[in-house]
Amino acid sequence: MDDELRRGFYRQMVRIRTYEEAIRGDYHADKTPAWDIGAGLIPGEMHLAAGQEPVAVGLCAHLTADDALTAPHRPHHLALAKGVDMRKMTAEIYGRETGLGRGKGGHMHLFDQHFSCSGIIAEGMPVAVGQAFAFHRRGTTNVAVAVAGEGAANQGAFHESLNLASLWKLPVVFVIEDNDWAISVPRDASTSVPSNATRAAAYGVAGERVEGNDIEAVYQAAGRAVTRARAGEGPTLLEVHTVRLWGHFEGDAQAYRGDELAVAESHDPIPAYEAKLRADGVLDDAAVQAIRAEAAAEVADAIAFAKSSPEPSPAAAYEHVFV
């Protein structure tokens, strides 16, 4: 990994965090009471991925525009790393007709060319298997990737998808973001194995777990998985032990986390990676300031675009219902 690639990792993580911090501010700005999720500039629930940026950036560095990615209900980091247009995505989150889904889907239903997400746990896994099957039938070298949380690994769709992908040796990579909490349930209270990567053996596929929320380790592991899929060697189950810095949803008081929350906050991957790059001479004050300013300008532009876009007309609810 050369210096430019590593700077690019940092730039993408800062870009994603800057975006989610801004979205978070607008989400809470005009909700009275705070739990009134139907009110304000951004209606509906909101699930943010602060702390999980290394998974998205390290993974998507290996994907092309024509590779497919399905994401869970916490999708912004993956969408931005995959190359989804920030302006159109923001307009969708704000419920405007210039959005990816003309403002009808909101933040948990972002659809773009070769990118999708869903509020249904593990729903993207069989979808990715279908996409991989299509790539296989067409004879391309494209891969499909399904990202889900560790709670999704206890869903039937997870096991069905691994089984069929292995049976047909499809070019798909299953990525589990293990942030220790399935909403408010800790992993050790819900899952019979300490690592979901070990479940790969039951289906005859490669399995690997990445510790430390280290973007360079994620990049290397994801590279092995994607290379394997492109070469026709079948699926991989990759689990990354990451961290969720904020609540499961915005408004989550997180009382269930106790002292663990302070520990999680001390493992923020962005300042940790910045310190590493500074020590290696890859970043300095000027570079950091320029990257932060670039991210802030792009995010401000996207939010201004969304806020200036019109809301859909009520009659639009009857459009695009059927293909």
- CATH number reported for the structural domain that contains residue 96 in this entry: 3.40.50.970
Check residue 320 and give its pLDDT. Answer: 86
Of 21-30, 139-148, 255-264, which has the strongest mean pLDDT? 139-148
> Does 33 map to a domain?
no
Q: Is residue 63 part of a domain?
A: yes
Q: Which of 175, 205, 225 is nearest to 52 (CA)?
A: 175
- The mean pLDDT of 65-88, rounded to a whole number, is 98
Structure tokens at 223: 């590279």
106 pLDDT more than 80: yes
Q: What is the mean pLDDT of residues 295-323?
A: 94
Is it the case that residue 35 has pLDDT exceeding 70? no
Enclosing domain of residue 196: 47-269
Report percent pLDDT > 70 for the chain. 99
- Name the residue type at position 252: D
pLDDT of 27 > 80? The answer is: yes
What's the mean pLDDT in 27-55?
85
According to DSSP, the β-strands at 68-71 and 172-178 are unpaired
80: enclosing H helix or E strand: helix 76-82
Q: Specify the pLDDT at position 37.
A: 73
Residue 303 structure tokens: 């939010």
Residue closest to 113 by CA, chosen among 89, 138, 149: 89
What pLDDT does 323 receive?
75
Q: H or E stretch including 200?
A: none
CA quadruple 181, 185, 186, 188: dihedral positive or negative? Answer: negative
User: Coil, strand or helix: which one is 245?
Assistant: coil
pLDDT reported for residue 34? 62
In the DSSP assignment, the letter for residue 40 is S
Q: Among 13-17, 33-37, 183-187, 285-289, which is the least confidently predicted range?
A: 33-37
**Residue 108's Cα: distance from chain center in Å?**
11
3-state secondary structure of 143: coil
The pLDDT of 16-41, averaged and rounded, is 85
- The per-residue pLDDT for 139 is 96
The rounded distance, in Å, linking the Cα atoms of 288 and 162 is: 41
305, part of any domain: no
Q: Which residues pair with 72 in a beta bridge?
A: none
Are 107 and 44 within 8 A, CB to CB?
yes
Residue whose token pair is 């992908």: 165
pTM above 0.85, yes or no: yes
Mean per-residue pLDDT over the chain, rounded: 95
User: Furthest-apart CA pair in the chain: how many Å?
Assistant: 57
* Total tally of structural domains belonging to the chain: 1
Collapsing DSSP states into helix, strand and coil, what is residue 122? coil
* Within a domain: 313: no
Identity of the amino acid at 40? G
* Domain membership flag for residue 3: no
Residue 99 has pLDDT above 80, yes or no: yes
Query: ∠253-258-261 over CA atoms, to 5°?
Result: 75
Neighbours of 192 (CB within 10 A): 7
pLDDT given at position 216: 98
d(CA 232, CA 154): 27
Residues 6+ apart with CB under 8 A from 177: 52, 55, 72, 74, 147, 148, 149, 150, 240, 242
Percent of the chain residues topping a pLDDT of 90:
92
Query: In angstroms, rounded to a whole number, what is the distance separating the alpha carbons of residues 18 and 134?
Result: 36
Does residue 33 surpass a pLDDT of 70? Answer: no
24, part of any domain: no
Q: pLDDT band at 55, cuts 50/70/90?
A: very high
> 247-283: per-residue pLDDT in tens?
999 989 999 999 999 999 999 999 999 999 999 999 9
Q: How does strand 172-178 pair with strand 144-149? A: parallel
State the CB neighbour count (10 A cutoff) for residue 166. 19
pLDDT at residue 111 tops 70 = yes
Q: Report the alpha-carbon distance of residue 70 to residue 126 in Å, rounded.
A: 10
Contact indicator for 128, 168 with CB cutoff of 8 Å? no
In sequence order, the 6+-apart residues with CB closer than 8 A to the CB of 111 are 100, 101, 105, 117
Give the Cα separation of 39 and 250 in Å (integer): 13
Q: What are residue 28's phi and psi, to 5 degrees?
A: -90, -10
